[in-house]
Amino acid sequence: MPALSAIIPKIIDKKLIAKTTGYFSSIRSLVELLGVSIAGVLIVAIGTPYVILIDAFTFFIAFFIIMFIRVKEVRETSALTVKAGIKDLGEAYVYVKKEPIIFVIIVCGALTNLAFTPLNVSEVIYVKDILKIGAKGMSLFSAAISLGAILGGFYVGKRAASLNLLHIFSWALLAAAISYFVLGMPAFFAVTIPFTVIIIVDVFFLSFFVSIMNTILSAYLMQSVPQEMLGRVFSLLSMLIMIAIPLGSLLSGAAEYIGVPMLIIIASVLILISALYLEIYMKMKRL
């Protein structure tokens, strides 16, 4: 992923990066949805081993397509070692510390991933035991997430030219916090059919805002970070996100004592704090 993020600005005009990233995110979510749907049919029709072979074949197709991409890049001759990797991450950290707004939005992105882990870990429990809507409800829940991700990326791609990326990122973060908070409402209210419908709609909006947020984070970094540092900065971002996921999984164990809805509410407050801090920071810096 860091390599992908570093190569996009080499083949796309900087003015079109936000638009390209938005459409790319939308298409990727759409293909993931189609892939899951097609896989189920193929597994029944031809069996799992053959589906895995088809999956492997698609990677070879992608490999040969990428071979034809031509970019101008200066290559540094250095050994691929753990020491070199740590050095690159150190250089990325030094750069990010000198660019406060980039540092802030990267931390916000990592904290958001940490906050969403309880839902990712407990999604089946939430649908089955909290909403009590079974397998069909799980399909509906997943479809709402996929549709929100598709339309969120499409929105950024369509409106990229007229968007202030930082402000939209901040507002999407705030909207995601509110939407996430609504998912915790079963802690206080009885779950009825109308309430379940509200939750499914809310999941759609949550996915929509998260897609906007993630897309804009990538686009802003691609536009703002110098080309020679881009791969390293995205590596640092990926590392922080990967660290946040197991930490969030550990925190998810608290659901045994306080329940999944209450844990989601607590996690939503973490996102809300991030959103408010970013908004205050931008006003102080007049960004």
For 158-196, b where at least 16 C-beta lie within 10 A, e where not — what string? eebeebebbebbbbbbbbbbbbbbbbbbbeeeeeeeeeb
Amino acid 79: pLDDT: 66
Residue 95 has pLDDT above 80, yes or no: yes
Q: What spatial distance separates the first Cα and last Cα of the chain, rounded to whole Å?
A: 28
**% of residues, the chain, pLDDT over 90:** 25
CA distances from 4 to 8, 11, 49 (A): 6, 11, 29
**Spatial CA neighbour of 185 closest among 200, 201, 206, 199:** 199
- Amino acid found at 28: R
Residue-wise pLDDT tens digits, 238-263: 888 888 888 888 888 887 788 888 98
Which position has the token pair 């031509």? Answer: 70
Residue 178 has pLDDT above 80, yes or no: yes
Amino acid 247: pLDDT: 83
Residue 78 has pLDDT above 70, yes or no: no
Under the banding of pLDDT at 50, 70 and 90, the label for residue 77 is low
Instruction: Please give the domain boundaries of the chain with CATH numbers for all domains.
Output: 2-74+81-285 (1.20.1250.20)
Higher pLDDT residue, 85 or 233? Answer: 233
Residue-wise pLDDT tens digits, 264-281: 999 999 899 989 988 888
Amino acid 132: pLDDT: 86
Q: Who contacts 42 (Cβ-Cβ below 8 Å, separation ≥6)? A: 50, 51, 54
Are the C-beta atoms of residues 163 and 156 closer than 8 Å to each other?
yes
**Helix residue ranges, H only, the chain:** 2-11, 17-46, 48-67, 82-98, 100-125, 134-159, 165-183, 193-224, 227-252, 255-258, 260-285
Average pLDDT over residues 44-58: 91
Amino acid 117: pLDDT: 85
Residue 75 has pLDDT above 80, yes or no: no
DSSP letters for 199-234: HHHHHHHHHHHHHHHHHHHHHHHHHHS-HHHHHHHH
Answer left, alpha or beta for residue 164, where phi above 0 means left and psi between -120 and 50 means alpha: beta
Q: Picking from 2-11, 70-79, 181-190, 199-208, which range would have the lowest pLDDT averaged per residue?
A: 70-79
Residue-wise pLDDT tens digits, 98-117: 888 888 888 888 888 888 88
Distance CA 125, CA 61 (A): 38
pTM confidence score: 0.86
Q: How far is it between the farthest Cα atoms of the chain?
A: 63
Under the banding of pLDDT at 50, 70 and 90, the label for residue 85 is confident
Average pLDDT over residues 22-40: 87
Residue-wise pLDDT tens digits, 121-151: 888 888 888 888 877 788 888 889 999 999 9
pLDDT, the chain, mean: 86
Under the banding of pLDDT at 50, 70 and 90, the label for residue 76 is low
Amino acid 154: pLDDT: 93
Residue 205 has pLDDT above 80, yes or no: yes
Distance CA 140, CA 31 (A): 18
Higher pLDDT residue, 279 or 79? Answer: 279
